[in-house]
Structures are given as C-alpha cells and as structure tokens.
Structure 1
Amino acid sequence: MPVYKDDKRGTYYFITRVNGKQIKRRGFKTQREAKLAEAQLLIEAEKSEIDLSNPTFEYVAEEYLKWYKKRRKESSYKRVKSVVEKYLMPAFGNKKINDIRNRDITKFHDTIIEKKFSVATNKKIHVVLSAIFNFAIKNEYTIKNPARTVGNFEGKEKKHVDYWTLDEFKTFIAVVDEFNYYVLFMTLYYSGMRKGEVLALTWGDIDFENNTINVDKTVGKTGITTTKTGNSRIIQMPKFVIRLLSQLKADNNPKMNYVVFGEYKKPLAETTIARKFNAWIKKAGVKTIRIHDLRHSHASYLINKNTVISVISKRLGHSNVSTTLDTYAHLYPSTEKEAVLDMENDFKRADVIEFKAK
C-alpha cells in the first residue's frame, strides 16, 4: 500500500484494509516509519487470522521450537531446529496439521530414503516429526499423531567402534612430547570421559586426596554447558593419572575455577588438539583413530578386564546400561559356544557323580 504525506501537519500516514475493513493511521515523521507500521499491522492481522482449531504445520512447528528452546540445551535446540527447517518445513510447512495423513508420512519417508542418509539420521528426522505432533496433541491443536501410527524408519545402524588396545595406546603416548597433552590423553584413555567433558574440567573438579574426578559439564559449540545426559558423575581414577594432574597443577599454580587443559577459563582449541593428535599418531605408527575413540578404547580395556557392565556404564556417563550394551556388546569376547564350553569344563571339574542307569 502507498504512503501519503499530510501537508498540513508535515507528517505521513497510510491507509490499508484488514479483514475487509479500511484502517487509517497517521502521525508518522517519515515515510519509512509509516511503511514499517503498516507492515507490522498486517503481520499482526495475519497472526490473528490463524485458525487455531487447525493451524498449519509451520505454525505448530514454530511454537514447538519456542517451547523446546526454553527447556533444552542450546546445542540440542540447534540440531532440532536444523531438522525442522531442512526437512520438515519443505514437506509439511503449508499443510494444515489436521490434514496430514498417514500416507503423507509414508511418502515423506520415501523422499528421505532416496537421499541415502544413514539410518540414524533418518530416525532422528522422524523422531523430531513425531515430537511436533505430540506437542500439537498436548496443546490441543490436533488429536492424532500420524507419524507415530506409521512408525519410524526400519533398519539398524551398523555399529563400528574403533579403539586402541593398551599396547597401541602405550606406543602412541610414548611419542607425545608436550606434557599438558600427555596428561590430556592419559586422562581421556583412563577415564572414558568425552572430549568435551575433559576440556570443561576445572581444578576444583579434581579430588587429589580421594583420586576422583567430578564430571558435571562439557564444552560445546556454545561454550561450557551441562553434560550430554544432564547428569553429573564422579569417576575413580588410577593414582598415576592423579599424580600427573597434580604435577600439571604444580607447574601452573592455577586458581580452582581455571580449566585444567587450557589457559585460565579458556579450554584448548579442539582443532589444535586434533592436529597434534594426528601428528603423534603418524609418528608412533599406530592405526588412525579419532580422539573420541579413546573413550571406546577405555570401554574396550574394561571389557577385556571382565569389568561389570554397570560399572562401565557409570564411568562412561550413559543414562542407562542398555546404551552401553547396545554400543559395546560386540566387543565382548565370549561367544555362546565358549560359554557352553565353560559349562562343560566346570561340570568336569566339579565333584559330581554322573547318573548311571541300573
């Protein structure tokens, strides 16, 4: 709509129509102010016309994101927002929430499968879609969740875990010639902590008397936040690692709220750590793994020591034991045949008289 000048007052005004009614607003000092006010009026009018008994998927998704942002970590919010904007809005944005049918979900699945994402990515997209419908049900925008009815994508993600044996780690650590990185990698290998959790450690988290480390935060893209699962844990550490940490502290004489690996309150840069890590791998001549795989190496080490799975799960900070089993079950060396063989050997060794027919 055009903006007009009121020559008598030396100001500007606009005339527009909302819901069939003519609206005139005057008294703006500049044309730009008048145009902005008109645009805002039209936006508010459009919002007021939303049929909340059957809003668009886009409207509900935006409401869900607002709700989610207030209750979840920033990193989680960004991941969910990315899924909504990249995959869900193009497919369902303009559709009315109550008009989305099971067949629409199935067709959407077909388009996602064609993109040849990993099974895990496909399932994550579906989980977000279903969560939006659940939100819509709770807030009385709809009474059904077609995503739940159709079900998630089929298939299992192939589990592949890279790790170092203790001998491989010893070969690697022997060539690390910078003390702070030496202590960093020793802490990662013998604690099973995530890289972000180790980088977020402050000196106040280290209990030198009881040989423990308190894990209650992590370093993410948005800075230091709570751990991945939102839970804290205390990890018992070998004395030789605690002695290394004590020596590192003595060398720097830091304050309790300073990070262990970094300067003052700024953790080491992950890109720098990765560059040095890969250089030392090449020098040591061991197979290439990611820094995150030191966590898998710790789990593998404990598994081969026949450590109880619940203890491994607790050290790793998994929310439940099933997560640990799902990730590392294939690393357990015992097979069913070996288990049965153990039964036979135990029976032979036992003081048992075999039954003999009379």
Structure 2
Amino acid sequence: MAGSIAKRPDGRWRARYRDDTGRERSRHFARKVDAASWLDEVTSTLHTGTYVNPRAGRVTFQAFYDDWAPRQLWLPSTRANADLATASVPFGDLPLKAIRRSHIETWVKSISARWAPTTIKTRFVIVRSVFRAAVADRVIAADPTVGVALPRRRKAEAAMRIPTVSQVGLLLAHADSTRVSTRHGFRAYVALCAFAGLRKGEGAGIQIGDIDFSRRQLAVSRQLQRDGDTFAIRLPKYGSERVVHLPDELVEMLRAHIDAFLPDETPDRWLFTVSDGPMYDNDIDWRWRATRNSAGLPHVRLHDLRHFYASGLIAAGCDVVTVQRALGHSSATTTLNTYSHLWPTAEDRTREAAAGLMKQAHEASRRDTPERAPSPPQREPPRPVLG
C-alpha cells in the first residue's frame, strides 16, 4: 500500500504507511529525502511479503522459544537437548531484534573452551533454528547466526575408533562373566552391535518375534529410550526402520540365547531383560563398562562396534547403498560423510588395476617365451703328452 510524506509544523517530515494488518504507522525525519528513502524500503517489503512489524522483535529470545518449542514435532530427548542449548545462551533475555551476530560469536567463543566441537555444532543448530523460525514468522528481518564460524571438527578418519577383529573377539569372550550372574546373556547383545550394526537403543528394543530364523533376518522397528524413571518405545533414530541380514553364526547365537534365557516366552517378549522388564540405558552402560574393563579395553565405546560392522561391510566390497540400508542411515550422503575414508580411493583402484595388468603381462611373458634347446656339452681340450 502506498504511503505519504508530509511536512509538520516543527519542520520535520512525517512518512506514513499502512502495514499488512491495515494499521497506520509513521516515522519522522529531519530531511524529506530520508523520509522518502525509508518509505520506499518499507513499501517494498510490503509488496514482496517480507515486511516485519517493528514492534514484533520486542519479544525476547527465551519467550519466543517457550512459545515456539511446544509446537515442534520433537521426541522428548530432542526437546531436552533444545532446552539445554537455549538455556546456555547469555542473550535469552534480550529482544530478538536487539541480538546481533556479535552476540552469537561471543556465545560460541565462550562454550568452545568447555564443549567438544560436535556438541557446539549440535547446540548451535538448535539456536539457529529458533532464529530461523523468528524470521519465518516475520518477527525479525534477518537471522543473526548467518556467517558465524564454529570450531573445526576432527576429520572422521581421525576421530573414529574401529576395534580390531581380535579385540571384538576378546569383548565377546568377556561379555558373559561367569562371576557376575547379572551379565549372563550380554554376549548376544554385544554380538548384535558388532555383527548387525545395531545402535544402543535398537539392540535394547529387539523382541523375540523380530528374528526370522528361517530367513536369517532381523527386523529393526523400534528403540528404547529413557523417559524419566522408566523407558519409552519409539521408532529407530531418523526413522531408520530396516531389515538386517544376519550371518549364520549370529542366528545360532541368538537361538542359543533364547533357549538358555527365554525358552518359554512369546514373540512379543524382550530379547534382553532385567527382572521383568527390558534391559536399557544404564542397564546396558554398566554391563558394557564391566565387559570392556574385564577385556582390558577400557577405551572401546559401544558405538565403536557399529563402526566395526560398517568397516567390515566396506572391506568386503559392499557399495554405499548396501551399507546405508544395513546401518539404517537416512541417506547415502550420511553414510559417505561418516565412512568415505574407508572406501578404496581412485588411487587405490588405479594401483590395483595396474597390478592386475602387470600380473597378466608376466604370465603372458612366461607362457609365450620359447624354450631354448640345451647347449651341447663342451669338450675338454686334449691334454699334452709329456715325453
């Protein structure tokens, strides 16, 4: 809607316009040219649909988050992480329109001394999503997090720890302690993580009916997560429901586990139990710590077994899509971002191809070279007769 400019009795110029709700708004300037420039800018945003009410940005960051967060389709754990991230910012009580890029940079700098780069990125992404929501709601005109630099993260190949085959064998050997009865049956859980690539919560959420012994398949359709003093049943991370093809040895181990610990149970019975409920969260954590300490491998994380599984698939020649589906990644990009350093490079393939050519050439050389006839024996020269 077009505005107008008029000169006031005090000599200043008043620029007026009506916003997208029909309400009249105005601003005063000492010079007419400044009033015209401001009015042109405002009316342009009205025509393009990017107009922001100048009063809307008065809401504080925390108040906007408290109103916005309950509408998000988040899991309770995601909401808890978001609450932690937003509570850590020093500008929670500032109006959104007053928050500048410098505020964000100061916050990132302060937390970089005590948090890992991956944690900083996770919390920064949550805070950034709040500002982006404010921009989308036309509460503020621009996102102040744009262009903020984050601490550099370690490369995947440097940060990733992959256990060796002998180390995994040692962990399996120590998973079922003969001295600690409450750890009996944990060996099958460790095997599922190492040879089926299950995440911690996915392994906890397996029920007997999820195992198809005839087809040697495992359906991963749920995970268990802590919810206060109990657990909650949820879909796997990022909706990564999948069917995992199991090796024969793992199928037999799971069968033996059921025969030993759950012989008369129904298909909906949890595969790993503690008392009358499923084994989850802390139940798994302390059993894993006991296992790795007993094996003399205190540095190995449970999630490292998932990396072990992925590295084995890649070493066996599986392509990206196969590995993606086996791990339940949301996209092949996620798989490549995590494990690209494990796939053979172009240099490796070139070197292997050249080695193959060289081997073939050597074999052809030996095959096509004519055999030489044996040389006649050399006769010794006659010895002189001594007179």
CA distance 1:285–1:83, shift in 2 (3 Å): closer
Per-residue deviation, residues 111-144 of structure 1 (Å, max 9, x unmatched)? 333x342211222222112100111122221221
Deviation at 1:263, TM superposition (A): 5.0
Output aligned runs, 1:1-358, within 5 Å. 52=56, 54-68=58-72, 71-85=73-87, 87-88=88-89, 91-113=90-112, 115-148=113-146, 150-159=147-156, 160-177=159-176, 180-222=185-227, 223=231, 224-251=233-260, 252=262, 253-263=264-274, 266-285=277-296, 288-332=299-343, 334=344, 337-348=347-358
For 2:128, the aligned partner's letter is S
Per-residue deviation, residues 128-172 of structure 1 (Å, max 9, x unmatched)? 121001111222212211212x33415223432223222332233
CA distance 1:171–1:63, shift in 2 (3 Å): same
Looking at structure 2, the residues matched to 144 and 175 of structure 1 have their Cα atoms a distance apart, in angstroms, of 56
Deviation at 1:292, TM superposition (A): 1.9
Asked if the contact 1:259/1:265 (under 8 Å) is kept, the reply is no
Deviation at 1:309, TM superposition (A): 2.5
Which deviates more from structure 2 when the two are superposed, residues 161-170 or residues 293-302? 161-170
Asked if the contact 1:216/1:226 (under 8 Å) is kept, the reply is yes
- Gapped regions of structure 1 (runs ≥ 5): 1-50, 352-358
CA distance 1:169–1:138, shift in 2 (3 Å): same
Asked if the contact 2:201/2:281 (under 8 Å) is kept, the reply is no
Which deviates more from structure 2 when the two are superposed, residues 284-293 or residues 74-83? 284-293
Looking at structure 2, the residues matched to 247 and 257 of structure 1 have their Cα atoms a distance apart, in angstroms, of 18
CA distance 1:174–1:154, shift in 2 (3 Å): closer
Asked if the contact 1:197/1:215 (under 8 Å) is kept, the reply is yes
Looking at structure 2, the residues matched to 183 and 172 of structure 1 have their Cα atoms a distance apart, in angstroms, of 11
The count of aligned residue pairs is: 293
Deviation at 1:80, TM superposition (A): 0.8
Asked if the contact 2:185/2:257 (under 8 Å) is kept, the reply is yes
Looking at structure 2, the residues matched to 95 and 206 of structure 1 have their Cα atoms a distance apart, in angstroms, of 54
Deviation at 1:303, TM superposition (A): 2.3
Asked if the contact 1:127/1:152 (under 8 Å) is kept, the reply is no
Looking at structure 2, the residues matched to 285 and 105 of structure 1 have their Cα atoms a distance apart, in angstroms, of 44
CA distance 1:343–1:191, shift in 2 (3 Å): same
For 1:155, the aligned partner's letter is R
Per-residue deviation, residues 14-51 of structure 1 (Å, max 9, x unmatched)? xxxxxxxxxxxxxxxxxxxxxxxxxxxxxxxxxxxxx5
Q: Kindly, what percent of the aligned residue pairs are identical?
A: 22
Asked if the contact 2:272/2:279 (under 8 Å) is kept, the reply is yes
Deviation at 1:305, TM superposition (A): 1.8
Asked if the contact 1:120/1:157 (under 8 Å) is kept, the reply is no
For 1:246, the aligned partner's letter is R
Looking at structure 1, the residues matched to 307 and 83 of structure 2 have their Cα atoms a distance apart, in angstroms, of 30
For 2:328, the aligned partner's letter is G
Deviation at 1:209, TM superposition (A): 2.1
Q: TM-score, normalised by structure 1?
A: 0.73
For 2:267, the aligned partner's letter is M
CA distance 1:213–1:101, shift in 2 (3 Å): same
Asked if the contact 1:313/1:321 (under 8 Å) is kept, the reply is yes
Looking at structure 1, the residues matched to 174 and 238 of structure 2 have their Cα atoms a distance apart, in angstroms, of 34
Looking at structure 2, the residues matched to 190 and 240 of structure 1 have their Cα atoms a distance apart, in angstroms, of 10
Looking at structure 1, the residues matched to 311 and 131 of structure 2 have their Cα atoms a distance apart, in angstroms, of 40
Asked if the contact 1:257/1:265 (under 8 Å) is kept, the reply is no
For 1:118, the aligned partner's letter is A
2:244 counterpart SS class: strand
Looking at structure 2, the residues matched to 167 and 80 of structure 1 have their Cα atoms a distance apart, in angstroms, of 40
Per-residue deviation, residues 68-115 of structure 1 (Å, max 9, x unmatched)? 2xx111111101111111x22xx22222212222333333333333x3
- Across the aligned residues of Structure 1 and Structure 2, the Cα RMSD in angstroms comes to 2.6
Looking at structure 2, the residues matched to 155 and 285 of structure 1 have their Cα atoms a distance apart, in angstroms, of 32
Deviation at 1:60, TM superposition (A): 0.9
For 2:242, the aligned partner's letter is R
CA distance 1:156–1:288, shift in 2 (3 Å): closer
1:219 counterpart SS class: strand
Looking at structure 2, the residues matched to 210 and 286 of structure 1 have their Cα atoms a distance apart, in angstroms, of 35
- Structure with bigger gyration radius: 2
Deviation at 1:233, TM superposition (A): 0.8
CA distance 1:273–1:96, shift in 2 (3 Å): closer
Show the counterpart of 1:29. none
Deviation at 1:347, TM superposition (A): 4.2
CA distance 1:175–1:263, shift in 2 (3 Å): closer
Q: TM-score, normalised by structure 2?
A: 0.68
